[in-house]
């Protein structure tokens, strides 16, 4: 007679451990200060997990963390930022299976299409990591002047960027809007896709175990309509990406941003599978011109 151990159970009787995902602020994973969470379901209506439902106070905390991290991140060499971002791609590569499962559940994709989307997201991250030390060379210039001066025009980061992540593309779209913001030396406060936040939260777990300093990217899950107005109106946010905003809400968000003279980026129809150009790298940089006397 075979021996039976107390821990032996049929596989079908095991209950999955349901996870309540947290926010990502300043390199840590706090719960929402409001104590709220909301259910996240698959494209077929199956409960996947619960995500923290961020509040206005969480927005303020995330902006404060992004501002604190800005001097160190923007002051790092472009080469160093590229190495740090490339490390994220390395970790993503090691978790392809997990992200493929999460993207398939979130977007209702077949397994091959989900794997293709994850591979494209990893490649997209590598693409922008490679631009960190090349962007200034391509967009900068030595300006001709009539006088004994050298003048150099070079891009520099805008500052703290608020990003409304795409609602339709939980990982590839997210990487496509976040990576260029970080590559050019900005820090970010990101509001994840409301209905598909799990790949975004898993991405923050990758960031937390990589070399990206805490506060460089801060991610909030919750209701976009609730959080976006506070992010748009915050006086310490320098720019705003409205990719994930509902078209009907964009005018109000732009008006809120105008009160504090923010740069606002409103994208056209986006094909996330298309090869990216320089538009998102340019969107959140300012051109600074430096004059230097000849011979000094």
Residue 199: per-residue pLDDT: 96
What pTM does this model have?
0.90
**Which tokens hold the place of 163?**
């990003």
In a domain, 289, yes or no: yes
DSSP the chain: -----TT---GGGPPP---EE--BBTTB-PPPTT--EEEEE-TTS-EEEEEE---HHHHHHHHHHHHHHHHHHHHS-HHHHHHHHHHHHHHHHHTHHHHHHHHHHHHT--HHHHHHHHHHHHHHHHHHHHHTTTHHHHH-EEEP-SSSEEEEEEEEE--EEEEE--SS-TTHHHHHHHHHHHHTT-EEEEE--SS--HHHHHHHHHHHTSSPPTTSEEEE-S-HHHHHHHHHH-TT--EEE-TTS-GGGHHHHHHHHHTTT-EEE---S--TTSPP-SHHHHHTEEEEEEEEETT-
The pLDDT tens digits for 150-166 are: 787 888 999 999 999 99
Q: What is the CATH number of the domain that holds 137?
A: 3.40.605.10
pLDDT of residue 267 exceeding 90: no
The pLDDT tens digits for 188-203 are: 999 999 999 999 999 9
In a domain, 9, yes or no: no
In a domain, 285, yes or no: yes
Domain around 225: 19-293
- Total number of domains in the chain: 1
In a domain, 34, yes or no: yes
């Amino acid at each position: 007679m075979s021996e039976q151990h107390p821990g032996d159970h049929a596989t079908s009787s095991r209950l999955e451990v349901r996870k309540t995902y947290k926010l990502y602020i300043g390199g840590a994973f706090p719960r929402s200060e409001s104590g709220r969470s909301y259910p996240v379901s698959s494209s077929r209506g199956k409960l996947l997990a619960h995500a923290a439902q961020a509040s206005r106070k969480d927005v303020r905390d995330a902006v404060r963390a992004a501002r604190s991290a800005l001097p160190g991140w923007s002051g790092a060499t472009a080469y160093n930022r590229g190495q740090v971002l490339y490390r994220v791609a390395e970790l993503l590569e090691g978790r392809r299976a997990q992200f493929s499962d999460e993207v398939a559940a979130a977007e209702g994709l077949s397994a091959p299409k989900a794997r293709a989307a994850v591979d494209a997201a990893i490649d997209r991250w590598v693409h922008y990591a490679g631009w960190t030390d090349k962007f200034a060379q391509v967009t900068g210039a030595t300006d001709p002047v009539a006088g004994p001066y050298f003048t150099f025009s070079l891009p520099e980061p805008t500052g703290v960027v608020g990003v409304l992540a795409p609602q339709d593309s939980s990982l590839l779209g997210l990487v496509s809007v976040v990576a260029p913001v970080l590559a050019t030396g900005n820090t970010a406060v990101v509001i994840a896709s409301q209905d598909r936040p799990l790949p975004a939260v898993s991405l923050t777990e990758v960031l937390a175990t990589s070399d990206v300093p805490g506060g460089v990217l801060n991610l909030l899950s919750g209701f976009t309509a609730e959080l976006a107005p506070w992010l748009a109106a915050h006086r310490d946010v320098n720019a705003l990406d409205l990719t994930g905003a509902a078209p009907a809400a964009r005018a109000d968000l732009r008006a809120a941003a105008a009160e504090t003279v923010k740069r606002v980026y409103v994208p056209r129809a986006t094909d996330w599978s298309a090869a990216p150009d320089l538009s998102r790298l340019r969107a959140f940089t300012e051109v600074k011109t430096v004059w230097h006397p000849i011979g000094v």
